[in-house]
């Protein structure tokens, strides 16, 4: 294994459930102590298999990792450091909700080794935030970013495009204010179809939502605006200032090995795709009996691995070697895929550059349709 690997830890506890959430979360934190012990047990169970590997990233995701007490975060990081071989300068990311970020927490996280905080800002308009059940308001989000700014950690902010009540103007305002405070930005399109409540609302009251064309225009305008301010669009949903790409996340798109600890966590290890069960009680019960609760554990075939290389690699602005796309289209035995591929190039959804093929900025907007053909 040449590239250092990463470790993802899923922390499923949230103070309340947001209207659009599709993650494995719980608002009942009565199992939290057991869960943190279970993560340490799971780390011990996988440590032997990972004994020859070097690591250079930890990602504490969720859920809301910032709900943990700072000493719980420190203990978790120390326990991982004690079991795996980490490079100097390992990136340690913590996902945080703005309401949990104050000066004391920011300082304690930095002291525990956290080097990057990803803040779920989502919008800087109060009405939009409350429309999807977020617990913070705009002032709280700006205060969180301010608290982090003096701690020497890299700061990433998340925004959502397509929120109820959002307009092109309000999205522009959120984007511009957020960019002043972060060096990395993740922007997601709201997928109303993942939430019955939001899907019903959009059908009944479409006037509360930007149209699909309005979202596309806002997205393209955002790309130009960020590019002019030194943010590189390096992945479909991610922009970074120089040297601030999310090291851990890039491992997913380049198929670099990552371990996944915790309920519903996924991993790629030695060409095996694995995923833990997504029911919390079952996760705890099996770990407490000394075994990993794997719902999926499968070696990928060469064709599956090649397809992954395309549908994950194409997410990156750098794209993938064109020769690999042609090979995969041939391996897939799907004549229509080769034809469609030529069509995507002629329609300028994809473009060729230096032996590679990649999405155009406009092509990113319809990337789901293209990527799903390689899955
Ligand atoms: S805070 Fe994040 S993980 Fe928790 S419910 Fe909201 S969207 Fe889901």
- Name the average pLDDT for the chain: 95
Determine the average pLDDT of the residues in 306-326: 94
**CATH number where 372 lies:** 1.10.10
Q: How confident is the model at residue 11 (pLDDT cuts 50, 70, 90)?
A: very high
User: Alpha-carbon distance 191 to 243, whole Å?
Assistant: 30
Same domain, 47 and 129: yes
Same domain, 135 and 234: yes
pLDDT greater than 90 at residue 151:
yes
Residue that finishes a domain, picked among 190, 221, 252: 252
What proportion of the chain, given as a percentage, has pLDDT over 70? 100
With a 6 A CB cut-off, is 135 part of the ligand 1 pocket? no
Of the listed ranges 143-157, 183-197, 311-325, the one predicted with least confidence: 183-197
| 17 within ligand 1 shell (Cβ under 6 A) | yes
Ligand 1: centre distance to CA 24 (Å): 9
Q: Are residue 69 and residue 177 in the same domain, yes or no?
A: yes
Give the count of domains, the chain. 2
Q: State the pLDDT at residue 248.
A: 98
**pLDDT band at residue 191 using 50, 70 and 90 as cut-offs:** confident
Judge if 118 and 196 occupy the same domain.
yes
Domain boundary among 231, 252, 273: 252
Measured from the CB, is residue 97 less than 6 Å from ligand 1?
Answer: yes
Q: Span 303-330, mean pLDDT?
A: 92
Instruction: Measure the CA–CA gap between 212 and 166, rounded to whole angstroms.
Output: 13
Q: Are residues 122 and 218 in the same domain?
A: yes
**How sure is the predictor about 375, in pLDDT bands with cuts at 50, 70 and 90?**
confident
Please say which residue of 192, 226, 252 terminates a domain: 252
Q: Is residue 188 part of a domain?
A: yes
Counting atoms of ligand 1 from 1, which one is nearest the CA of 134? Answer: 6
Which residues lie across from 95 on neighbouring strands? Answer: 118
Whether 337 shows a pLDDT value over 90: the answer reads no
142 CA to middle of ligand 1, Å? 19
316 lines ligand 1 (CB under 6 A): no
pLDDT in tens, 45-63: 999 999 999 999 999 999 9
pLDDT score at 193: 77
Give the CA distances from residue 312 to residues 100, 236, 329, in Å, rounded to whole numbers and listed in that order.
32, 10, 15
pLDDT digits over 27-36, tens only? 999 999 999 9
Percent of the chain residues past pLDDT 90, beyond the cut: 87
- Give the domain CATH number at 147: 3.80.30.20
Average pLDDT estimate for 201-217: 94
- Per-residue confidence band for 296, with pLDDT thresholds at 50, 70 and 90: very high
Q: What is the pLDDT of residue 209?
A: 95
Residues 243 and 341 in one domain: no
Mean pLDDT of 83-106: 97
pLDDT, tens only, 124-134: 999 999 999 99
Question: 13 lies in a domain?
Answer: yes
Residue 284 placed within a domain:
no
The C-alpha atoms of residue 347 and residue 335 are separated, in whole angstroms, by 19
Centroid of ligand 1 to alpha carbon of 62 (angstroms): 7
In a domain? residue 108: yes
Instruction: Let me know if residue 279 belongs to a domain.
Output: no
Mean pLDDT of 201-216: 94
Q: Where are the alpha helices (DSSP H) in the chain?
A: 32-47, 70-83, 103-112, 126-131, 138-149, 168-179, 196-204, 212-228, 247-253, 280-288, 302-313, 322-331, 335-346, 361-364, 367-372
Same domain, 241 and 319: no
CA of 353 to the centre of ligand 1 (A): 38
| Closest C-alpha to 309, from 252, 349, 365, 361 | 252
Examine residue 280 and state whether it is found in any structural domain, yes or no.
no
Regarding whether 337 and 227 lie in a shared domain, the answer is no
The mean pLDDT of 235-246, rounded to a whole number, is 97
Is the confidence at residue 247, as pLDDT, over 90?
A: yes
Query: Quick check: is 73 in a domain?
Result: yes
Report if residue 220 sits inside a domain.
yes
Task: Judge if 195 and 66 occupy the same domain.
Answer: yes
Tell me the mean pLDDT in the region 256-269.
Answer: 98
- Res 293: pLDDT: 97
Q: Say what the pLDDT of residue 1 is.
A: 53
Give the closest residue (by CA) to ligand 1 atom 2: 63
Containing structural domain, residue 323: 302-375
Residues 348 and 248 in one domain: no
For ligand 1, atom 5: residue with the closest CA? 17
3-state secondary structure 108-134: HHHHHCCCEEEEEEECCCHHHHHHCCC
DSSP annotation of 255 reads T
Regarding whether 206 and 330 lie in a shared domain, the answer is no
Tokens of 300: 């990928």
């Amino acid at each position: 294994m040449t590239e250092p690997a990463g470790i993802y830890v899923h922390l499923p506890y949230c103070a309340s459930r947001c209207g659009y959430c599709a993650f494995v979360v719980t608002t009942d934190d009565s199992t939290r102590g057991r869960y943190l012990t279970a993560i340490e047990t799971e780390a011990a169970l996988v440590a032997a298999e990972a004994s020859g590997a070097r690591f250079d990233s930890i990602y504490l995701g969720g859920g809301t990792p910032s709900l943990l007490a700072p000493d719980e975060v420190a203990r978790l990081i120390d326990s991982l450091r004690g079991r795996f071989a980490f490079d100097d300068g390992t990136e340690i990311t913590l996902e945080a909700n703005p309401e949990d970020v104050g000066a004391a927490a920011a300082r304690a996280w930095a002291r525990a080794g956290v080097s990057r905080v990803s803040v779920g800002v989502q919008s800087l308009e109060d009405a939009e935030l409350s429309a999807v059940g977020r617990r913070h308001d705009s002032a709280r989000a700006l205060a969180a970013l301010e608290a982090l700014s003096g701690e020497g950690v890299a700061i990433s902010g998340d925004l959502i495009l397509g929120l109820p009540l959002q307009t092109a103007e309000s999205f522009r305002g959120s984007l511009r204010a957020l960019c002043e405070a972060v060096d990395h930005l993740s922007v997601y399109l709201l997928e109303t179809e993942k939430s019955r409540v939001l899907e019903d609302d959009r059908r009944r009251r479409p006037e509360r939502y930007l149209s699909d064309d309005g979202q596309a225009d806002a997205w393209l305008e955002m790309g130009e605006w960020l590019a002019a301010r030194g943010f590189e669009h390096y992945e479909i949903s991610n922009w970074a200032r120089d040297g601030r790409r999310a090291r851990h996340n890039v491992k997913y798109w380049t198929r670099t090995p990552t371990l996944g600890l915790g309920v519903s966590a996924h991993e790629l290890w030695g060409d095996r795709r694995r995923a833990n069960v997504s029911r919390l009680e079952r996760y705890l019960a099996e770990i407490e009996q000394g075994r990993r609760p794997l719902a999926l554990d499968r070696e990928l075939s060469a064709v599956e691995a090649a397809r992954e290389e395309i549908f994950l690699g194409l997410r990156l602005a750098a794209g993938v070697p064109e020769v690999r796309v042609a090979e995969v289209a041939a391996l897939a035995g799907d004549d229509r895929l080769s034809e469609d591929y030529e069509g995507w190039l002629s329609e300028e959804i994809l473009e060729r550059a230096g032996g590679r093929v990649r999405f155009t900025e406009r092509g990113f907007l319809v990337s789901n349709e293209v990527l799903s053909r390689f899955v």
